[in-house]
Chain A
């Protein structure tokens, strides 16, 4: 069975550029979560969707971050403009119950 698929696995870009991270959840799951992981702050929930509708975006750092889920099989997290402090590993997870299943993440480096 395919798990949660994230792309790209690695992204290196210059400050000010737009960054788009992509996620394909597990088929049949109705909730999707975006997390950010850093050494300093650990695993932080940014936003989550239920049935493609954003439910809680209180973890989104600021207006530079946006997320969409146009259909049940695809979601994007966009950062525009990017800043060096956005460097982190970004994870997508999906679930049908309390059990969330994670992708392998996108390691983002903003120079």
Chain B
């Protein structure tokens, strides 16, 4: 079945630094989504991407839908302590089943 490889698995950075994480797939996706999960809460949607090559920003967050449709990245600029959490990529494939395939998550820690 479809799988997503998300990297890195974890990051420990200094406040103010930029962060980059990515997801790759062995198959094509029609939609890429990026979620953030805070402790004790459910994942919250950050950015949704619908077209190959699309670049979308949400504040300090920028995400891109890879041209091959098999990858996506998320950048966070000028990180702050509240960026701490687990970031998940998710893809919606061509089967049109409504299911999302989730990456394993990237745990981000920010040192003030």
What residues of chain A have their CB less than 8 Å away from a CB belonging to chain B? 4, 31, 33, 42-43, 45, 48, 50, 55-56, 91, 93, 95, 98-105
Contacts and interface: CB of A to CB of B under 8 A. Distances in A.
Contacts of A101: 45
B92 A98 contact: yes
B42 A55 contact: no
A104 B41 contact: yes
Provide the main secondary structure of the chain A interface. Answer: strand
A104 B104 contact: no
B99 A45 contact: yes
Contact of B41 (A31, A99, A105): A105
Given A98-B31, A98-B48, A104 B42 contact: yes
B105 A42 contact: yes
Nearest to A31: B98
A42 B102 contact: yes
B44 interface: yes
A17 B98 CA distance: 33
B97 interface: yes
A3 to B, nearest CB: 9
Most buried by A among B88, B98, B104: B98
Given A43-B88, A98-B48, A105 B42 contact: yes
Contacts of B61: none
Contacts of B104: 42
Given A101-B45, A102-B42, A105-B42, A55 B97 contact: yes
Contacts of B43: 43, 91, 102
